[in-house]
């Protein structure tokens, strides 16, 4: 009898190992990732040594490391990556650089000239606060939420995205802006002040109403009349055309509504996230490896550039969505597939690409900028997805 139980246990155990083997091997994926980020850190420290301004790595330009100043929308991703590496490895060696690159972003908490404070402050200070509980980080998050709230227009019910190109649009809102709402939800939790939460919900509801087509693909830009709240124009800036589905935009939408469901438990957001996932995952141009081309409608497909950053954001979003949806098992399986493909086929060669982890992202194809290159936010969401895969959601 005892032998029989032991045998059954042994079979169950080996089955678990078999199932696990199909999952993402986070420990294995982290070995080259850590080596690469060591290089990126070293290069970033050298590149910024004589600089009076804060600089963080963003991409490669003509094979050289390109760094950005604090107000660039991508400035918070590098410190966020350092926090994720600490989170994933528990190796204290990541703590000092994470703190250093985070702290230098502190002046941005007062920046009211960008909607990207969520990216800038929440990826850096937000992760730092989650992992260390440092109360000085808490106050930066709250101040940043106050600054971001200044861009909210109560008539239109949305936060203004861009201030540039005022000749092209009056009150532009881009789908990417969904990502910045996480900072506002957090600020309400930290302060008990519901005004941040209300702005986030208003923005999410208005975007849900105005940004999506019947097939649940998203426009990139919606321009509003700030006096009446009427939609003036729908189109794109970074996608192929006004009627196309720019891959990263769909990724932001998926991740954004999943996060809004986590924060509100409003089923409308869950349904929206599921519908967006369906658009992405059943799209005829989504390649077998599930790493999308930069725009789902590019007629050059399969010869168009890929966007590994969109894939990493989609994987991270799907892990979270898998914890909320009846389709959870499928979402998790797909997220695993994407992560495995990214780590097997899209990583930089050892020591190459100045230490960026992933190659093959596309930033702004219409501007002929950042095409098929490493980009810092691809690496950030890749590490976040690895961490979510390990956590189970």
Tell the smallest beta-carbon distance from residue 73 to ligand GLY (Å): 6
Residue placing its CB nearer to ligand GLY in the complex, 244 or 325: 244
Based on the shown chain and the rule CB under 6 A, indicate whether residue 255 belongs to the binding site for ligand GLY: no
Residue 211-240 contact track with ligand GLY, rule CB under 6 A, x = bound = ---------------------------x--
Using CB atoms, what's the residue nearest to ligand GLY? Answer: 176
> Is residue 248 at the binding interface for ligand GLY, with CB under 6 A as the rule?
yes
Q: Which residue has the tokens 């007629």?
A: 299
List of E strands, the chain: 55-61, 64-69, 152-153, 158-159, 172-174, 221-224, 231-235
- Residues 48-67 as b/e (b if ≥16 CB within 10 A, e otherwise) read beeeeebbbbbbbeeeebbb
CB of 363 to ligand GLY, least distance (A): 6
- Given 72, 116, 223, 298, the catalytic residue: 116
92: helix, coil or strand?
A: helix
Residue 374 C-alpha from the chain's centroid: 15
Counting residues that bind ligand GLY (by CB under 6 A) gives: 5
Q: Does 379 bind ligand GLY (CB under 6 A)?
A: no
Q: For ligand GLY, give the closer residue by CB, 73 or 83.
A: 73
CB of 336 to ligand GLY, least distance (A): 24
Instruction: Copy the structure tokens of residue 353.
Output: 């690409």
* Residue nearer to ligand GLY on the CB measure, 73 or 197: 73
How near is the Cβ of 238 to ligand GLY at its closest, in Å?
6
| CA-to-CA dists, residue 311 to 120, 133, 202, 267, angstroms | 21, 31, 28, 25
User: Could you tell me the sign of the dihedral formed by the alpha carbons of 197, 118, 172, 216, in that order?
Assistant: negative
Two structure tokens written together for 75: 């400035």
Letters for 345-364 (x = contact with ligand GLY by CB under 6 A, - = none) are ------------------x-
Specify whether 298 is catalytic: no
* DSSP state letter for 119: I
Report the 10 Å Cβ neighbour count for 176: 24
What residues have CB less than 8 Å from 262, skipping those under 6 apart?
A: 320, 324
According to the binding rule CB under 6 A, does residue 307 interact with ligand GLY?
Answer: no
The 3-state secondary structure of 121-175, one letter per residue: HHHHHHHHHHHHCCHHHHHHHHHHHHHHHCCEECCCCEECCCCCCCCCCCCEEEH
Q: Is 73 in the site for ligand GLY (CB under 6 A)?
A: yes
- Annotated active-site residue in 87, 176, 223, 295: 176
Smallest distance from ligand GLY to CB 226, Å:
21
| Residue 181 to residue 190: CA distance in whole angstroms | 14
Out of 44, 121, 153, 176, the only residue in the binding site for ligand GLY (CB under 6 A) is 176
Looking at beta carbons only, is 88 or 121 nearer to ligand GLY?
Answer: 121
Report the interhelical angle of 181-191 vs 195-210 (nearest 10°): 160
CB of 117 to ligand GLY, least distance (A): 12
289 C-beta neighbours (distance < 10 Å), count: 16
| Comparison of 104 and 248: residue with beta carbon closer to ligand GLY | 248
Tell me whether residue 127 or residue 309 sits nearer to ligand GLY (CB atom): 309
Q: Is 176 a catalytic residue?
A: yes
Q: Quote the least distance from Cβ 136 to ligand GLY, whole Å.
A: 28
Q: Which residues bind ligand GLY (CB under 6 A)?
A: 73, 176, 238, 248, 363
Q: Which residues are catalytic?
A: 116, 176
């Amino acid at each position: 009898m005892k032998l029989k139980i032991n045998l059954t246990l042994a079979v169950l155990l080996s089955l678990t190992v078999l199932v696990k083997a199909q999952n993402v091997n986070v420990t294995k994926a982290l070995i080259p990732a850590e080596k690469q980020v060591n290089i990126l850190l070293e290069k970033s420290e050298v590149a910024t040594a004589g600089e009076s301004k804060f600089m963080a790595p963003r991409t490669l330009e003509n094979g050289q490391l390109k760094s950005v100043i604090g107000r660039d929308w991508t400035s918070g991703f590098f410190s966020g990556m350092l926090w994720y590496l600490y989170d994933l490895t528990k190796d204290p060696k990541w703590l000092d650089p994470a703190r250093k690159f985070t702290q230098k972003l502190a002046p941005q908490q007062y920046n009211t000239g960008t909607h990207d404070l969520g990216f800038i402050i929440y990826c850096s200070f937000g992760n730092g606060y989650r992992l260390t509980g440092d109360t000085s980080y808490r106050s930066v998050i709250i101040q940043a939420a106050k600054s971001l709230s200044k861009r909210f227009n109560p008539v239109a019910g949305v936060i203004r995205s861009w201030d540039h190109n005022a000749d092209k649009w009056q009150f532009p809102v881009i789908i990417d802006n969904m990502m910045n709402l996480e900072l506002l939800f957090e600020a309400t939790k930290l302060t008990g002040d519901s005004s941040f939460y209300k702005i986030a919900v208003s923005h999410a509801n208005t975007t849900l109403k105005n940004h999506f087509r019947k097939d649940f693909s998203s426009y990139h830009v919606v321009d509003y009349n700030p006096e009446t709240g009427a939609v003036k124009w729908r189109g794109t800036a970074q996608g192929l055309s006004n009627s196309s589905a720019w891959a990263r935009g769909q990724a932001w939408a998926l991740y954004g509504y999943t996060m809004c469901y986590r924060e509100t438990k409003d089923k409308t957001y869950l349904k929206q996230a599921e519908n967006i996932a369906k658009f992405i995952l059943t799209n005829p141009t989504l390649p077998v490896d599930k790493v999308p081309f930069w725009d789902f409608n590019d007629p050059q497909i399969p010869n168009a550039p890929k966007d590994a950053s969109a894939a990493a954001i989609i994987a991270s979003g799907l892990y979270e969505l898998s914890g909320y949806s009846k389709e959870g098992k499928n979402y998790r399986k797909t997220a695993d597939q994407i992560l495995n493909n990214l780590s097997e086929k899209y990583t930089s060669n050892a020591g190459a690409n100045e230490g960026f982890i992933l190659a093959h992202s596309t930033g702004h194809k219409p501007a002929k900028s950042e095409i098929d290159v490493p980009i810092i936010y691809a690496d950030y969401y890749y590490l976040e997805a690895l961490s979510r895969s390990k956590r189970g959601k």
